[in-house]
Amino acid sequence: MTRHLDDAKASLRRMIYDGLYKAGEPLREVQVAERLGVSRTLARLAMAELETDGLLLREPNRGCRVRAFSAREVADAIRVRGELEGMAARLAAERGLSRAERADWEAVLARGDALLDSGRQDKAARTDWIAMNADFHAAVLAAADNAALVAACQRVSAMPLASPDAILFDAPTVDGGGAAATRRALAAAHRDHHEVFRAVAAREGERAAWLMREHARRSAETKARLLGDRTGYSRLSALPGGKLVRPAFG
Amino acid sequence: MTRHLDDAKASLRRMIYDGLYKAGEPLREVQVAERLGVSRTLARLAMAELETDGLLLREPNRGCRVRAFSAREVADAIRVRGELEGMAARLAAERGLSRAERADWEAVLARGDALLDSGRQDKAARTDWIAMNADFHAAVLAAADNAALVAACQRVSAMPLASPDAILFDAPTVDGGGAAATRRALAAAHRDHHEVFRAVAAREGERAAWLMREHARRSAETKARLLGDRTGYSRLSALPGGKLVRPAFG
DNA sequence: CGACGCAATATTGAATGCAATTAACAGTCG
DNA sequence: CGACTGTTAATTGCATTCAATATTGCGTCG
């Protein structure tokens, strides 16, 4: 992959996430190329990559369509991610953390603590949170020292909303809405992070795996609750409340 | 993906598996195109896909090289596959098998029994065995009813030797060689199949998962023993004994 | 009036050609 | 004699062009 292709792919991904193309709507190569400001070749390659990422569906000689993900599919993907991350936690616990890994991990946890303590809710805080969260999940995978596991996890995280980066801020909830609920959810998630770390550090492999799976499962349930039962969607910005924020995505 | 591209990709894959390109050796687009009998465009696309499959490594502006897989990497991938298939078995057990699924599964098991009972060791028998084995693993995944799980499993199986299809027949072993040892290994594997099925049918989820993980682990250990400790290889036909047979691969 | 078939058009699929980047080599200077 | 730089050859990256396939609209026939 070269620079231009990466750019085109990222831009197209963003376009889809932003709902420029509705689910089921065909992506015409010429139009995509125009909007991306590149040639048809690059547009085509970008579409091919997003297809392998599972974001687009291709019918031979009929082009690509944006794939719609049901709440069920997202939940399924998150369960798989949880299983893989759980395996990573178990492997990490069995292997034991090096001094450096332990320090890195604790630094990430401290960043999360600081963010929660600050009480900030602005956009920068959200970006920081997403970065912290991503770093935590990456640390778990790295500590497992299994390249195939990392690759598999990245793949399953390619689905919109299935990635740990995909956090729904300020979406309305049944138990009262908005900022306070979000804050509670983030605090709970970060407690999970601490617990996973303690279990791994204590070499409690199976328990670490269980905690990690539960962490993913909670995230899946939260998202399912927020997204409702609609069977298909891809325009994330059109979700209930329209206040979805996923700045660090893609 | 269109027909020509699929063909080109499969052919190139086979070329690499057959050792036409050694590990680390660069794949020049023009040469690949010539050997495939297609244009540079298709060769390029095929290479791009094999890159995403993890079979090739690409350095920007410097093309692709065949990736060498260490015995460790193969073992890691198989462990991940085992975890995913174990998850599938657990989900299948929790969900319960439909009448049709149960029948399909039993038919696959019966095919394996018949093959073992026949005592055949010819090439056709091997092909049949590989097909039966693939069907069994596919049945486990299908019974889990989780699309993301299937996709993740397919991905991790893309690595050479990591797929359940990749069976080493007649490779020399430490405990006496060849046909008899292979026969014992296949019989043991098929006992695993039966046990997994019984556990799933009995709704024993965690036990089914464990059995499936162990099934994969055994396969990984067998391969590791056969492959030895060499740190890098990709020319499968050049493995010890040179009697490797993997007809249904790719 | 509806259904089928044919032609025109639009869209994807593949190949060739051109530009940009990189590696290798020779020549020159220190 | 070794290191550096300018130049050349080779290779990838991208754009354009040509060909194949599917879709749509219209006309005709039942």
Cα distance between residue A173 and residue A170, in whole Å: 9
- Classify residue A175: in a domain, yes or no: yes
Q: Which helix (H) or strand (E) holds B41?
A: helix B40-52
Work out the pLDDT band at B121, boundaries 50, 70, 90: confident
Say how far residue A174 (Cα) sits from the centre of its chain: 23
Percentage of chain B exceeding pLDDT 70: 86
Q: Which residues pair with B136 in a beta bridge?
A: none
Q: What are the chain B neighbours of A50 within 8 Å (beta carbons)?
A: none
- Classify residue B247: in a domain, yes or no: no
pLDDT score, position B231? 43
pLDDT score, position A228? 63
In a shared domain, residues B61 and B138:
no
- Is the per-residue pLDDT at B224 higher than 90? no
Other Cβ atoms closer than 10 A to B19: 16
CATH number, domain with residue B75:
1.20.120.530
In the DSSP assignment, the letter for residue B68 is P
In a shared domain, residues B203 and B94:
yes
Range with the poorest average pLDDT among A15-19, A241-245, B28-32, B197-201: A241-245
Other Cβ atoms closer than 10 A to A176: 9
Q: Six-digit token pair at A182?
A: 């979000």
- Range(s) of the domain holding residue B34: 3-66
pLDDT score, position B61? 86
- Classify residue A250: in a domain, yes or no: no
Most confident of A11-15, A175-179, B2-6, B164-168: A11-15
Work out the pLDDT band at B18, boundaries 50, 70, 90: confident
In a shared domain, residues A46 and A84:
no
Q: What are the chain A neighbours of B210 within 8 Å (beta carbons)?
A: none
Which among A66, A88, A109 is the end of a domain?
A66
**What are the start-end ranges of the H helices in B53-146?**
71-95, 99-118, 123-144
In angstroms, the separation between the Cα of residue B72 and the nearest Cα of chain A is: 9
pLDDT score, position A83? 98
Range with the poorest average pLDDT among A80-94, A200-214, B96-110, B177-191: B177-191
Query: Nearest Cα to B93, choosing from B217, B196, B214, B215?
Result: B196
CATH number, domain with residue A41:
1.10.10.10
pLDDT score, position A231? 44
Q: Which residues pair with A66 in a beta bridge?
A: A56
Q: Whole-number mean pLDDT of chain A?
A: 86
- Is the per-residue pLDDT at A45 higher than 90? yes
Q: Whole-number mean pLDDT of chain B?
A: 86
Cβ–Cβ under 8 Å, residues B76 and A148: yes
- Is the per-residue pLDDT at B241 higher than 70? no
In a shared domain, residues A50 and A105:
no
- Whole-number distance in Å between A46 CA and C3 C1': 42
In a shared domain, residues B78 and B44:
no
In a shared domain, residues A169 and A220:
yes
- Classify residue B244: in a domain, yes or no: no
For residues B31-54, one letter each, b for 16 or more C-beta atoms within 10 angstroms of the residue's C-beta and e for the rest, the string is ebbeebebeeebbbbbbbbbebbb
- If interface means Cβ-Cβ distance under 8 Å, which residues of chain B face chain A? 1-3, 45, 48-49, 52, 54, 58, 60-61, 73, 76-77, 79-80, 83-84, 87, 146-149, 151-152, 155-156, 159, 162
In the DSSP assignment, the letter for residue B176 is S
Work out the pLDDT band at B239, boundaries 50, 70, 90: very low
Work out the pLDDT band at A48, boundaries 50, 70, 90: very high
Q: Six-digit token pair at B227?
A: 């492959």
Is nucleic acid strand D under 7 Å from B60's C-beta? yes
- Classify residue B235: in a domain, yes or no: no
In a shared domain, residues A178 and A56:
no
Cα distance between residue A140 and residue A193, in whole Å: 10
Work out the pLDDT band at B177, boundaries 50, 70, 90: low
- Is the per-residue pLDDT at B237 higher than 50? no
Is nucleic acid strand C under 7 Å from A30's C-beta? yes
Percentage of chain B exceeding pLDDT 90: 63
Range with the poorest average pLDDT among A3-17, A133-147, A164-178, B67-81: A164-178
- Classify residue B210: in a domain, yes or no: yes
Higher pLDDT, B248 or B103: B103
Total number of domains in chain A: 2
In a shared domain, residues A78 and A191:
yes
Cβ–Cβ under 8 Å, residues B98 and B201: no
Higher pLDDT, A234 or B227: B227
Count A/B contacts: CB-CB distance under 8 Å. 74
- Interface with B, mutate which of A79, A80, A213, A217 (most B CBs under 10 A): A80
- Residue pLDDT, tens place only, B147-156: 999 999 999 9
- Residue pLDDT, tens place only, A129-186: 999 999 999 999 999 999 999 999 999 998 888 999 888 776 555 454 567 888 888 9
Q: Six-digit token pair at A38?
A: 């590149």
Q: Six-digit token pair at B215?
A: 């099934």
Work out the pLDDT band at B246, boundaries 50, 70, 90: very low
E strands present in chain B: 26-27, 56-59, 63-66
- Is the per-residue pLDDT at B249 higher than 80? no
Ramachandran region, residue A243 (left: φ > 0; alpha: ψ -120 to 50; beta: rest) = alpha
pLDDT score, position B107? 98
DSSP assignments along chain A, one per residue? --HHHHHHHHHHHHHHHTTSS-TT-EE-HHHHHHHHTS-HHHHHHHHHHHHHTTSEEEETTTEEEEPPB-HHHHHHHHHHHHHHHHHHHHHHHHH---HHHHHHHHHHHHHHHHHHHHT--SHHHHHHHHHHHHHHHHHHHHHHT-HHHHHHHHHHTTSTTTSTT----S---TTS-HHHHHHHHHHHHHHHHHHHHHHHHTT-HHHHHHHHHHHHHHHHHHHHHHHTT-S-B--GGGSTTS----TT--
Residues 36-55 of A near strand C (Cβ < 7 Å)? 40-41, 44
* C-alpha neighbours within 13 Å on the C-beta side of residue B79: 20
What's the rounded mean pLDDT across residues A205-212? 98
In the DSSP assignment, the letter for residue B174 is T
Which among A22, A45, A66 is the end of a domain?
A66
pLDDT score, position A241? 30
Is nucleic acid strand D under 7 Å from B27's C-beta? yes
Work out the pLDDT band at B228, boundaries 50, 70, 90: low
Cα distance between residue A61 and residue A31, in whole Å: 17
In a shared domain, residues A170 and A75:
yes
DSSP helix/strand/coil, B25: coil
Cβ–Cβ under 8 Å, residues A122 and A36: no
Range with the poorest average pLDDT among A41-45, A106-110, A200-204, B246-250: B246-250
- Is the per-residue pLDDT at B93 higher than 60? yes
Work out the pLDDT band at B101, boundaries 50, 70, 90: very high
Work out the pLDDT band at A199, boundaries 50, 70, 90: very high
pLDDT score, position B238? 35
From the list A61, A148, A162, the residue facing B80 with the nearest CB is A148
Cα distance between residue A101 and residue A198, in whole Å: 13
In a shared domain, residues B100 and B57:
no
Edge to edge, the sheet with strand B26-27 lists B26-27, B63-66, B56-59
- Is the per-residue pLDDT at A88 higher than 50? yes
- Yes or no, beta carbons of A73 and B148 under 8 Å apart: yes
DSSP helix/strand/coil, B203: coil
- Classify residue B250: in a domain, yes or no: no
Q: Six-digit token pair at B127?
A: 């092909």
DSSP helix/strand/coil, B245: coil
In a shared domain, residues A133 and A204:
yes
Q: What are the chain B neighbours of A2 within 8 Å (beta carbons)?
A: 60-61
Which among A50, A66, A82 is the end of a domain?
A66
From the list B45, B79, B148, the residue facing A156 with the nearest CB is B148
- Whole-number distance in Å between B114 CA and C24 C1': 62
Residue B157: what residue type? Answer: S
| Minimum-distance nucleotide, CA of B59 to C1' | D12
From the list B48, B76, B162, the residue facing A149 with the nearest CB is B76
Q: Six-digit token pair at B234?
A: 């990709």
- Classify residue A247: in a domain, yes or no: no
pLDDT score, position A225? 78
DSSP helix/strand/coil, B3: helix
- Is the per-residue pLDDT at B247 higher than 80? no
In a shared domain, residues A215 and A98:
yes
Could you tell me which chain A residue has the CA closest to the CA of B159? A148
Is nucleic acid strand C under 7 Å from B4's C-beta? yes
In angstroms, the separation between the Cα of residue B62 and the nearest Cα of chain A is: 10
- Is the per-residue pLDDT at A201 higher than 60? yes
Most confident of B5-9, B15-19, B97-101: B97-101
Work out the pLDDT band at A244, boundaries 50, 70, 90: very low
